[in-house]
């Protein structure tokens, strides 16, 4: 969990445009300037802006210089070349020593903002000018300004590369240490935060300073128990846990018990439930860091940490009182009046980010601790069930949904005596909660996410529903598909209405695109229903075939819609015997073959996956299709890469390779065997779809050992060099198992047995690179020994 998030989590709300104080006004103005630059474009507006600021900087009235500096802080975001800010930084450093505290404050603000906007290039270019200038100001007399000097330092350190930070650690810590211990809280808090920034950025380089700084921060954490120091205390928790994370377990162990005990005490006795308490978010993030460092050694503390911690999470979820769901970034200036009211309310409530931090922590614990988490499943389910209904923020609902399959995985891995029953009851409860959540969700994007997690639950729990439950589940899917279709039709109608401008058309098109994603999520669910519940889902075949598959696989529809049809067929192939769907299968097979050569990689990949599944699940049906498959696969391999990412493209090619291997191995007719083997060997070894690699490589060894050596090696052993290269590449990797390694040894051994094949072997080895020759030698040596 990054420190930045935890800052946000405490309620960093800078855009309070209408604040009565002058700083609020300055921020309002700065936001306006920012918007103007963004809308008009930096090329046109920056020259005008610079001229005006220059004029202001020359005024005798300090207020003009203050506004000039504050406005300049907005331009970092719009600058592309870091060299362009050189004159601005010179100006800022000069004004760090101005007589007026507000000018010094604005100069710090300017440095801090640009450090944040242009990191790390700004830090790399200006560290030798900026850091000494800031450190010189640590003797600043006005606490407000000093606090801003520290804030600017921490922003600068945040983007400073580790190798450059190395030379400053000692100096920054020596200058900051006294400020941590004395002065008013506004200064101490930023001093602690600067410590955190250094510790986080320095990573293992912080080790020499760890022993010196931990006791100081620990002491503040222990003694700052008055309400006004909650923030300081929270920052100490953050600082000490960040230090521990940076230095690692060996260094941390010495202090682990004391720190953990103190955090438990704070969590138990000092967190205040009836007001917004910043400690909650700091504790949530802190525990995650400790868990990351200690790993299994954190397990003994869980009983003391988790139950009270989850009470806090429950409290945060139950008492959010947050009236808005809008992302800060999305707040438009045009809605400033409403924002003003919302933000005012926000100040007196628990922050939304705090809830997110809490839910992130829940998910972190589940996935990190795995089976060690089993004792806390019950308490977590309670929290997750509240979170899935959290109306104020879709991110929280999504995080809750993410936790559900993860909890089932915990149960699956555990040694709980009733784990099967527990797994089933959890799956039912989660599926019900997710359907409820989907039905109240407005945004198809979030519906898709939640349906995705529902699919993960189906996949994780496999066959857990009765016939009636499967029917009900299918009904809900079909209902959702129909609703989505209706919304899509509405979008299309709206687009054709008179007076609909370009922007609205685009908006509707995006909405329809989201509906396509939603329908794909629903199609995946149908596919998984067949995969997991097999014959129980059989009555669904004819409905789905007529209502969904045939409609979705018409030519001319979008790629996403095509994938919907294909993923369902894939699910049927996985879960059902083809013989059970004799009427539908010929049509489905035709669809798979047609789309196996689709121009869009993701579509042909989905189709090829269906064929690949068939080759494993039903060899007889696959064998019948082998000839057409071979032609399609060879054609698919010829398709060039388009917009898709390289990994997706390579994976698709590897799926083709897997299918070719199976055609060669299992097809009765062995169509064009010579061509297929030659192609197959050029594509091997499998190195992207690692789950299939072992099986495919074993298949190659088996083919040779079963008397097909001549076919595989080709006339005069022309393909032997290729085979040897494949053996050498996969040897000693995760792409091969012990069994296949033994088979490779046997093959090499038999090649050495006769004079003729020995010569062939030696000739084939020659062109190989040295490291590959060595790998082959190791296999052969083992044979000889």
Scanning residues 292 to 331, which ones bind another protein (CB under 8 A)?
Answer: 329
The span of 145-153, 162-170, 244-252, 305-313 binding another protein (CB under 8 A) equals: 145-153
Residues 466-495 that bind another protein (CB under 8 A): none
Shortest Cβ distance from residue 334 to another protein (Å)? 4
Measure the CA–CA gap between 277 and 550, rounded to whole angstroms. 56
Closest by CA to 724, choosing from 668, 663, 692, 766, is: 766
* Residues 6+ away with beta carbon under 8 Å from 270: 225, 233, 279
The span of 146-154, 506-514, 523-531, 629-637 binding another protein (CB under 8 A) equals: 146-154
The DSSP line for 93-125 is HHHTT-SSHHHHHHHHHHHHHHHHHTTTHHHHH
**Contact string (CB under 8 A) for another protein, positions 217-236, x = contact:** ---------xxxx-x---x-
Shortest Cβ distance from residue 185 to another protein (Å)? 5
Of these, 10, 134, 281, 581, which contacts another protein (CB under 8 A)? 10
Question: Structure tokens of 23?
Answer: 């700083």
Of these, 86, 142, 509, 675, which contacts another protein (CB under 8 A)? 142
Shortest Cβ distance from residue 423 to another protein (Å)? 43
The span of 68-76, 572-580, 616-624, 649-657 binding another protein (CB under 8 A) equals: 68-76
Of these, 42, 121, 125, 144, which contacts another protein (CB under 8 A)? 144
For 314, list phi and psi in degrees, rounded to 5.
-60, -40
130 vs 523 by CB, closer to another protein: 130
- Residues recorded for the chain: 785
Shortest Cβ distance from residue 25 to another protein (Å)? 4
**546 DSSP assignment:** I
329 vs 468 by CB, closer to another protein: 329
Measure the CA–CA gap between 745 and 741, rounded to whole angstroms. 6
Residues 92-111 that bind another protein (CB under 8 A): 100-102, 109
Measure the CA–CA gap between 239 and 221, rounded to whole angstroms. 10
| Number of residues this chain uses to bind another protein (CB under 8 A) | 77
Residues 34-63 that bind another protein (CB under 8 A): 35-36, 39-41, 44-45, 48-49, 52, 56, 61, 63
Q: Counting contacts by CB under 8 A, is residue 377 touching another protein?
A: no
- Report how far Cα 785 is from the mean position of its chain's Cα atoms: 49
Shortest Cβ distance from residue 332 to another protein (Å)? 7
**Contact string (CB under 8 A) for another protein, positions 607-646, x = contact:** ----------------------------------------
SS3 content of the chain, % helix, strand, coil (to 5): 80, 0, 20
190 vs 615 by CB, closer to another protein: 190
Shortest Cβ distance from residue 75 to another protein (Å)? 13
Residues 327-366 that bind another protein (CB under 8 A): 329, 332-334, 336-337, 347
Measure the CA–CA gap between 685 and 693, rounded to whole angstroms. 8
Measure the CA–CA gap between 778 and 781, rounded to whole angstroms. 5
Closest by CA to 413, choosing from 373, 454, 362, 452, is: 373
Residues 395-424 that bind another protein (CB under 8 A): none
Shortest Cβ distance from residue 502 to another protein (Å)? 14
Residues 699-758 that bind another protein (CB under 8 A): none
The span of 139-147, 297-305, 484-492, 572-580 binding another protein (CB under 8 A) equals: 139-147
Question: Structure tokens of 141?
Answer: 């007399």
6 vs 398 by CB, closer to another protein: 6
For 15, list phi and psi in degrees, rounded to 5.
-90, 50
**238-273 CB burial, b ≥16 within 10 A, e <16:** bbbbbbbbbbeeebbeebbeebbebbbebbeeebee
Of these, 148, 514, 560, 632, which contacts another protein (CB under 8 A)? 148
74 vs 741 by CB, closer to another protein: 74
The span of 138-146, 391-399, 572-580, 585-593 binding another protein (CB under 8 A) equals: 138-146
Shortest Cβ distance from residue 253 to another protein (Å)? 30
357 vs 460 by CB, closer to another protein: 357
Task: Please answer whether residues 429 and 400 qualify as being in contact, where contact means their C-beta atoms are separated by less than 8 angstroms.
Answer: no
The span of 189-197, 541-549, 676-684, 712-720 binding another protein (CB under 8 A) equals: 189-197
17 vs 298 by CB, closer to another protein: 17
Residues 535-554 that bind another protein (CB under 8 A): none
Residues 11-30 that bind another protein (CB under 8 A): 11-14, 17-18, 21-22, 25-26, 28-30
Of these, 1, 151, 603, 704, which contacts another protein (CB under 8 A)? 151
Residues 239-278 that bind another protein (CB under 8 A): 278
* Residues 6+ away with beta carbon under 8 Å from 345: 321, 322, 323
Question: Structure tokens of 346?
Answer: 């926000």
Q: Counting contacts by CB under 8 A, is residue 189 touching another protein?
A: yes
141 vs 738 by CB, closer to another protein: 141
* Residues 6+ away with beta carbon under 8 Å from 749: 780, 783
Shortest Cβ distance from residue 666 to another protein (Å)? 59
Measure the CA–CA gap between 4 and 70, rounded to whole angstroms. 23
Q: Is 12 exposed, middle or buried (CB count within 10 Å of its CB: 0-12, 13-18, 19+)? A: exposed
110 vs 567 by CB, closer to another protein: 110
Residues 71-90 that bind another protein (CB under 8 A): 71, 73, 77
* Residues 6+ away with beta carbon under 8 Å from 413: 370, 371
Shortest Cβ distance from residue 234 to another protein (Å)? 10
Task: Please answer whether residues 350 and 273 qualify as being in contact, where contact means their C-beta atoms are separated by less than 8 angstroms.
Answer: no
Q: Counting contacts by CB under 8 A, is residue 193 touching another protein?
A: yes
Shortest Cβ distance from residue 355 to another protein (Å)? 16
Measure the CA–CA gap between 700 and 708, rounded to whole angstroms. 10
Q: How far is CA 475 from CA 15, 228, 466, in A?
A: 46, 56, 14
Shortest Cβ distance from residue 324 to another protein (Å)? 17
The DSSP line for 609-670 is HHHHHHHHH-HHHHHHHHHHHHHHHHHHHHPPP-SS-HHHHHHHHHHHHHHHHHHHHH-SS-
The span of 151-159, 526-534, 621-629, 691-699 binding another protein (CB under 8 A) equals: 151-159
78 vs 746 by CB, closer to another protein: 78
Q: Is 684 left (phi over 0), alpha (psi -120 to 50) or beta?
A: beta
224 vs 606 by CB, closer to another protein: 224
338 vs 432 by CB, closer to another protein: 338
Shortest Cβ distance from residue 262 to another protein (Å)? 22
337 vs 646 by CB, closer to another protein: 337
* Residues 6+ away with beta carbon under 8 Å from 331: 15, 339
Shortest Cβ distance from residue 719 to another protein (Å)? 60
199 vs 401 by CB, closer to another protein: 199
N- to C-terminal Cα separation, the chain: 52
Task: Please answer whether residues 560 and 517 qualify as being in contact, where contact means their C-beta atoms are separated by less than 8 angstroms.
Answer: yes
Query: Which residue has 């003694």 as its token pair?
Result: 223
Shortest Cβ distance from residue 8 to another protein (Å)? 8
């Amino acid at each position: 969990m990054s420190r930045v998030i935890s800052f946000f989590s405490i309620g960093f709300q800078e855009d309070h445009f209408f604040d009565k104080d002058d700083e609020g006004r300055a921020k309002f103005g700065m936001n306006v300037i920012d918007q103007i630059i963004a809308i008009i474009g930096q090329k046109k507006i920056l020259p005008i802006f610079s001229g005006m600021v220059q004029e202001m900087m020359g005024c005798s009235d300090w207020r003009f210089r203050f506004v000039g500096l504050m406005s300049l802080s907005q331009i970092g975001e719009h600058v592309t070349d870091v060299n362009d800010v050189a004159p601005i930084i010179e100006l800022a450093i000069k004004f760090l020593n101005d007589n007026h505290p507000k000018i010094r404050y604005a100069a710090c603000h300017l440095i801090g903002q640009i450090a944040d906007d242009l990191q790390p290039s700004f830090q790399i270019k200006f560290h030798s000018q900026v850091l000494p200038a800031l450190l010189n100001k640590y003797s600043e007399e006005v606490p407000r300004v000093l606090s801003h000097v520290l804030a600017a330092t921490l922003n600068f350190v945040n983007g400073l590369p580790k190798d450059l930070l190395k030379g400053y650690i000692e100096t920054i810590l020596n200058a900051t240490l006294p400020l941590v211990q004395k002065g008013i809280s506004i200064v101490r808090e930023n001093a602690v935060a600067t410590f955190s920034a250094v510790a986080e950025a320095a990573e293992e380089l912080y080790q020499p300073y760890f022993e010196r700084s931990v006791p100081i921060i620990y002491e503040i954490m222990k003694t700052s128990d008055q309400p006004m120091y909650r923030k300081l205390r929270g920052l100490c928790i953050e600082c000490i846990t960040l230090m521990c994370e940076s230095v690692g377990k060996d260094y941390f162990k010495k202090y682990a018990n004391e720190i953990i005990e103190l955090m438990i005490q704070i969590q138990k006795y000092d967190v205040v439930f009836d007001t917004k308490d910043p400690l909650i978010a700091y504790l949530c993030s802190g525990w995650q860091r400790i868990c990351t460092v200690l790993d299994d050694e954190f397990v003994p503390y869980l009983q003391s940490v988790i139950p009270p911690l989850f009470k806090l999470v429950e409290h945060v979820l139950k008492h959010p009182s947050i009236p808005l769901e809008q992302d800060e970034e999305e707040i438009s200036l045009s809605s400033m009046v409403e924002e003003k009211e919302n933000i005012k309310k926000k100040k007196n409530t628990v922050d939304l980010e705090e809830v997110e931090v809490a839910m992130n922590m829940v998910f972190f614990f589940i996935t990190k601790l795995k089976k060690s988490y089993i004792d806390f499943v019950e308490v977590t389910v309670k929290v997750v069930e509240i979170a899935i209904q959290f109306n104020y923020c879709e991110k929280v609902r999504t995080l809750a949904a993410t936790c559900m399959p993860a909890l089932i995985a915990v149960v699956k891995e555990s040694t709980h005596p009733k784990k099967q029953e527990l797994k089933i009851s959890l799956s039912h409860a989660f599926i019900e909660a997710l359907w409820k959540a989907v039905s109240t969700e407005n945004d198809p994007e979030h519906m898709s996410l939640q349906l995705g997690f529902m699919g993960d639950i189906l996949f994780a729990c496999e066959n857990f529903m009765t016939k009636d439950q499967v029917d009900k589940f299918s009904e809900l899917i079909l209902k959702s598909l129909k609703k989505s279709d209706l919304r899509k039709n509405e979008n299309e109608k709206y687009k054709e209405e008179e007076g609909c401008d370009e922007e609205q058309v685009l908006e509707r098109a995006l909405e329809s695109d989201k509906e396509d994603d939603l329908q794909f999520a629903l199609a995946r669910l149908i596919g998984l229903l067949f995969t997991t519940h097999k014959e129980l889902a059989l009555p669904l075949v004819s409905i789905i075939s007529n209502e969904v598959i045939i409609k979705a696989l018409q030519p001319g529809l979008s790629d996403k819609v095509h994938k919907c049809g294909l993923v369902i067929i894939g699910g049927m192939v996985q879960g059902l015997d083809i013989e059970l769907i004799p009427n539908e299968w010929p049509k489905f097979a035709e669809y798979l073959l047609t789309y196996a050569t689709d121009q869009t990689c993701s579509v042909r990949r989905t189709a090829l996956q269906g064929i690949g599944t068939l080759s494993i699940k039903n060899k007889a049906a696959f064998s019948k299709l082998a000839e057409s498959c071979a032609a399609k696969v060879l054609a698919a391999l010829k398709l060039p890469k388009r917009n898709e990412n390289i990994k997706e493209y390579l994976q698709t090619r590897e799926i083709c390779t897997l299918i070719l291997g199976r055609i060669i191995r299992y097809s009765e007719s062995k169509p064009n065997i010579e061509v297929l083997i030659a192609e197959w060997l050029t594509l091997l070894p499998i190195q992207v779809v690692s789950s299939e690699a072992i099986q495919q490589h074993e298949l190659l060894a088996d083919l040779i050992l079963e008397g097909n050596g001549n076919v595989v090696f080709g006339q005069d052993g022309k393909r032997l060099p290729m085979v040897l290269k494949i053996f050498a590449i996969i040897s000693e990797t995760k792409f091969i198992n012990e069994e296949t390694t033994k088979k490779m040894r046997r093959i090499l051994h038999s090649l050495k047995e006769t004079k003729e094949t020995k010569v062939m072997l030696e000739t084939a080895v020659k062109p190989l690179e040295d490291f590959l020759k060595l790998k082959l030698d190791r296999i052969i040596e083992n044979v000889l020994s």
